[in-house]
Amino acid sequence: MPHIVLCDDHPVFVDALGVVLGRRGFTVDAVVTRVAQIAPTVARHRPEVCLIDRNFGAEDGLAQIGPILAASPRTRVLMLTADRNEATASRALAAGASGYLCKTAGIDAVVGAIRGVLAGTTAVRLTPRPAPPLSPQDADAHRLAGYLTNRERECLALLVDGLSSDAIAERLGVSITTVRTHVQAVLTKLGVHSRLEAASFAVRHSLLGRAG
Protein backbone atom coordinates (compact mmCIF):
# COMPACT_ATOMS: atom_id res chain seq x y z
CA MET A 1 0.00 0.00 0.00
CA PRO A 2 1.52 3.34 -1.05
CA HIS A 3 2.33 5.65 1.84
CA ILE A 4 1.16 9.26 1.78
CA VAL A 5 1.62 12.40 3.86
CA LEU A 6 -1.17 15.00 3.61
CA CYS A 7 -0.42 18.68 4.11
CA ASP A 8 -3.27 21.18 4.32
CA ASP A 9 -4.19 23.92 6.77
CA HIS A 10 -7.88 22.96 6.78
CA PRO A 11 -8.10 20.16 9.37
CA VAL A 12 -11.63 19.05 8.54
CA PHE A 13 -10.85 18.74 4.82
CA VAL A 14 -7.55 16.95 5.23
CA ASP A 15 -8.87 14.55 7.89
CA ALA A 16 -11.78 13.61 5.64
CA LEU A 17 -9.43 13.15 2.69
CA GLY A 18 -7.23 10.88 4.78
CA VAL A 19 -10.19 8.65 5.63
CA VAL A 20 -11.27 8.39 2.00
CA LEU A 21 -7.75 7.63 0.74
CA GLY A 22 -7.41 4.95 3.41
CA ARG A 23 -10.50 3.28 1.99
CA ARG A 24 -9.03 3.51 -1.52
CA GLY A 25 -5.97 1.44 -0.63
CA PHE A 26 -3.46 4.07 0.51
CA THR A 27 -1.72 4.38 3.86
CA VAL A 28 -1.82 7.90 5.27
CA ASP A 29 1.22 8.15 7.52
CA ALA A 30 0.61 11.68 8.75
CA VAL A 31 -1.59 14.73 8.40
CA VAL A 32 0.20 18.09 8.60
CA THR A 33 -1.62 21.39 9.10
CA ARG A 34 1.37 23.71 9.80
CA VAL A 35 4.06 24.67 7.30
CA ALA A 36 6.89 24.28 9.79
CA GLN A 37 6.01 20.62 10.26
CA ILE A 38 5.93 19.64 6.59
CA ALA A 39 9.60 18.91 5.81
CA PRO A 40 10.35 17.25 9.18
CA THR A 41 7.28 15.01 8.83
CA VAL A 42 8.25 14.00 5.30
CA ALA A 43 11.81 13.33 6.45
CA ARG A 44 10.50 11.10 9.22
CA HIS A 45 8.08 9.02 7.13
CA ARG A 46 9.64 9.25 3.64
CA PRO A 47 6.30 8.59 1.88
CA GLU A 48 5.90 7.73 -1.76
CA VAL A 49 3.64 10.76 -2.22
CA CYS A 50 3.17 14.06 -0.41
CA LEU A 51 -0.07 15.93 -1.14
CA ILE A 52 0.27 19.61 -0.32
CA ASP A 53 -2.04 22.61 -0.56
CA ARG A 54 -0.93 25.82 -2.25
CA ASN A 55 -2.05 28.15 0.53
CA PHE A 56 -1.20 27.82 4.21
CA GLY A 57 -2.66 31.03 5.54
CA ALA A 58 -0.15 33.72 4.57
CA GLU A 59 2.47 31.15 3.52
CA ASP A 60 2.88 29.62 0.08
CA GLY A 61 2.98 25.85 -0.32
CA LEU A 62 5.04 26.27 -3.49
CA ALA A 63 7.99 27.24 -1.33
CA GLN A 64 7.78 23.86 0.43
CA ILE A 65 8.30 21.72 -2.66
CA GLY A 66 12.09 22.09 -2.55
CA PRO A 67 12.38 21.31 1.20
CA ILE A 68 10.11 18.27 0.75
CA LEU A 69 12.29 16.85 -2.00
CA ALA A 70 15.43 17.63 -0.03
CA ALA A 71 14.01 15.79 2.99
CA SER A 72 12.97 12.77 0.91
CA PRO A 73 14.16 12.66 -2.72
CA ARG A 74 12.06 9.56 -3.48
CA THR A 75 8.85 11.35 -2.51
CA ARG A 76 6.64 12.61 -5.32
CA VAL A 77 4.93 15.91 -4.59
CA LEU A 78 1.35 16.39 -5.74
CA MET A 79 -0.10 19.86 -5.21
CA LEU A 80 -3.81 19.70 -4.36
CA THR A 81 -5.25 23.19 -4.32
CA ALA A 82 -8.15 25.50 -5.10
CA ASP A 83 -5.81 27.63 -7.25
CA ARG A 84 -6.45 26.65 -10.87
CA ASN A 85 -4.11 29.18 -12.41
CA GLU A 86 -2.02 27.69 -15.24
CA ALA A 87 0.98 29.85 -14.34
CA THR A 88 0.90 28.53 -10.77
CA ALA A 89 0.76 24.96 -12.05
CA SER A 90 3.80 25.64 -14.24
CA ARG A 91 5.69 27.10 -11.27
CA ALA A 92 4.87 24.03 -9.17
CA LEU A 93 6.15 21.65 -11.83
CA ALA A 94 9.26 23.76 -12.36
CA ALA A 95 9.93 23.57 -8.62
CA GLY A 96 9.87 19.78 -8.78
CA ALA A 97 6.25 18.79 -8.21
CA SER A 98 5.06 15.69 -10.06
CA GLY A 99 1.50 16.90 -10.35
CA TYR A 100 -0.95 19.73 -9.84
CA LEU A 101 -4.62 19.10 -9.16
CA CYS A 102 -7.62 21.26 -8.28
CA LYS A 103 -9.58 20.26 -5.20
CA THR A 104 -12.80 20.61 -7.16
CA ALA A 105 -11.76 17.76 -9.48
CA GLY A 106 -13.19 15.16 -7.06
CA ILE A 107 -11.84 12.16 -5.19
CA ASP A 108 -11.62 9.91 -8.26
CA ALA A 109 -9.36 12.48 -9.91
CA VAL A 110 -7.22 12.68 -6.76
CA VAL A 111 -6.83 8.90 -6.65
CA GLY A 112 -6.03 8.82 -10.36
CA ALA A 113 -3.44 11.58 -9.97
CA ILE A 114 -1.75 9.77 -7.07
CA ARG A 115 -1.55 6.56 -9.07
CA GLY A 116 -0.29 8.52 -12.05
CA VAL A 117 2.62 10.14 -10.22
CA LEU A 118 3.44 6.80 -8.60
CA ALA A 119 3.73 5.37 -12.12
CA GLY A 120 6.14 8.15 -13.03
CA THR A 121 3.80 10.36 -15.05
CA THR A 122 3.05 14.04 -14.55
CA ALA A 123 -0.53 14.61 -13.41
CA VAL A 124 -2.05 18.02 -14.13
CA ARG A 125 -5.75 18.74 -13.93
CA LEU A 126 -7.10 22.26 -13.84
CA THR A 127 -10.85 22.50 -13.48
CA PRO A 128 -12.05 24.93 -16.15
CA ARG A 129 -13.58 28.16 -14.96
CA PRO A 130 -17.33 28.36 -15.56
CA ALA A 131 -18.32 30.50 -18.51
CA PRO A 132 -19.77 33.87 -17.56
CA PRO A 133 -23.56 34.12 -17.87
CA LEU A 134 -24.93 35.25 -21.19
CA SER A 135 -26.47 38.69 -21.55
CA PRO A 136 -30.21 38.70 -22.44
CA GLN A 137 -29.28 39.60 -26.02
CA ASP A 138 -26.71 36.81 -26.29
CA ALA A 139 -29.10 34.33 -24.67
CA ASP A 140 -31.76 35.16 -27.25
CA ALA A 141 -29.23 34.82 -30.08
CA HIS A 142 -28.10 31.42 -28.79
CA ARG A 143 -31.72 30.33 -28.49
CA LEU A 144 -32.24 31.14 -32.18
CA ALA A 145 -28.97 29.41 -33.14
CA GLY A 146 -30.20 26.32 -31.35
CA TYR A 147 -32.68 25.82 -34.20
CA LEU A 148 -29.89 25.47 -36.76
CA THR A 149 -29.07 22.02 -38.06
CA ASN A 150 -25.46 20.86 -38.06
CA ARG A 151 -25.19 21.55 -41.80
CA GLU A 152 -26.71 25.02 -41.39
CA ARG A 153 -24.23 25.75 -38.61
CA GLU A 154 -21.40 24.68 -40.94
CA CYS A 155 -22.72 27.07 -43.56
CA LEU A 156 -22.87 29.88 -41.01
CA ALA A 157 -19.24 29.24 -40.05
CA LEU A 158 -18.22 29.44 -43.70
CA LEU A 159 -20.19 32.66 -44.12
CA VAL A 160 -18.21 34.08 -41.21
CA ASP A 161 -15.04 33.04 -43.05
CA GLY A 162 -16.25 35.05 -46.05
CA LEU A 163 -16.75 32.15 -48.47
CA SER A 164 -19.01 32.53 -51.50
CA SER A 165 -21.82 30.10 -52.29
CA ASP A 166 -19.61 28.39 -54.87
CA ALA A 167 -16.79 27.98 -52.33
CA ILE A 168 -19.19 26.70 -49.67
CA ALA A 169 -20.61 24.16 -52.13
CA GLU A 170 -17.11 22.94 -52.95
CA ARG A 171 -16.09 22.81 -49.29
CA LEU A 172 -19.19 20.85 -48.24
CA GLY A 173 -19.43 18.73 -51.37
CA VAL A 174 -23.01 19.78 -52.17
CA SER A 175 -24.75 21.65 -54.97
CA ILE A 176 -25.14 25.43 -55.18
CA THR A 177 -28.91 24.97 -54.83
CA THR A 178 -28.42 23.07 -51.58
CA VAL A 179 -26.11 25.77 -50.25
CA ARG A 180 -28.65 28.46 -51.07
CA THR A 181 -31.33 26.47 -49.28
CA HIS A 182 -29.14 26.15 -46.18
CA VAL A 183 -28.17 29.82 -46.23
CA GLN A 184 -31.77 30.92 -46.54
CA ALA A 185 -32.65 28.69 -43.60
CA VAL A 186 -29.86 30.31 -41.57
CA LEU A 187 -31.16 33.80 -42.38
CA THR A 188 -34.72 32.85 -41.49
CA LYS A 189 -33.87 31.13 -38.22
CA LEU A 190 -31.57 33.92 -37.03
CA GLY A 191 -34.03 36.62 -38.09
CA VAL A 192 -31.53 38.43 -40.32
CA HIS A 193 -31.79 39.58 -43.92
CA SER A 194 -28.41 39.06 -45.56
CA ARG A 195 -25.33 36.84 -45.52
CA LEU A 196 -23.27 39.72 -44.14
CA GLU A 197 -25.79 40.35 -41.38
CA ALA A 198 -25.77 36.64 -40.49
CA ALA A 199 -21.97 36.60 -40.25
CA SER A 200 -21.95 39.76 -38.13
CA PHE A 201 -24.69 38.36 -35.89
CA ALA A 202 -22.72 35.13 -35.35
CA VAL A 203 -19.52 36.97 -34.47
CA ARG A 204 -21.20 39.53 -32.21
CA HIS A 205 -22.93 36.85 -30.13
CA SER A 206 -20.15 34.19 -30.32
CA LEU A 207 -22.54 31.67 -31.81
CA LEU A 208 -19.78 29.45 -33.17
CA GLY A 209 -17.49 29.54 -30.15
CA ARG A 210 -19.90 28.59 -27.42
CA ALA A 211 -22.53 25.91 -27.23
CA GLY A 212 -26.06 27.19 -27.45
What pLDDT, in 10s, does the model give residues 45-79?
999 999 999 888 778 899 999 999 999 999 999 99
- Asked whether the predicted pLDDT for residue 134 surpasses 80, the reply is no
The reply to whether 84 and 31 lie within a common domain is yes
Q: Which of these, 142, 170, 139, lies nearest to 155 by C-alpha position?
A: 170
Residue 39 lies in a domain: yes
The reply to whether 157 and 105 lie within a common domain is no
Mean pLDDT is lowest, of 9-13, 108-112, 129-133, for: 129-133
Q: How much is the average pLDDT of 184-205?
A: 92
Reported pTM: 0.60
Query: Of 125, 148, 181, which residue sits at a domain end?
Result: 125
The string of pLDDT tens digits covering residues 136-181 is: 888 899 899 999 999 999 999 999 988 999 999 999 999 999 999 9
Helix (H) or strand (E) run with residue 195 in it: helix 195-204
Query: Of 94, 125, 156, which residue sits at a domain end?
Result: 125
Residue 210 lies in a domain: no
Instruction: With beta carbons less than 8 A apart as the criterion, state whether 51 and 80 touch.
Output: yes
Identify the CATH number of the domain in which residue 145 sits.
1.10.10.10
Identify the CATH number of the domain in which residue 21 sits.
3.40.50.2300
pLDDT for 125: 80
The reply to whether 148 and 103 lie within a common domain is no
The reply to whether 116 and 140 lie within a common domain is no
The set of residues, in sequence order, having a beta carbon less than 8 Å from that of 68 and lying 6+ positions away, is: 38, 39, 42, 50, 52, 75, 77
Residue 130 lies in a domain: no
Confidence of residue 85 (pLDDT cuts 50, 70, 90): confident
Q: How much is the average pLDDT of 12-39?
A: 92
- Asked whether the predicted pLDDT for residue 96 surpasses 60, the reply is yes
Residue 195 lies in a domain: yes
pLDDT for 178: 96
What are residue 49's DSSP bridge partners?
4, 76
Confidence of residue 210 (pLDDT cuts 50, 70, 90): very low
Confidence of residue 115 (pLDDT cuts 50, 70, 90): very high
As a whole number of angstroms, the distance between CA 26 and CA 8 comes to 18
16-47 in b/e burial notation, b at 16+ Cβ within 10 A?
A: ebbeebeeeebebbbbbbebeebbebbeebeb
Number of domains the chain contains: 2
Enclosing domain of residue 72: 3-125
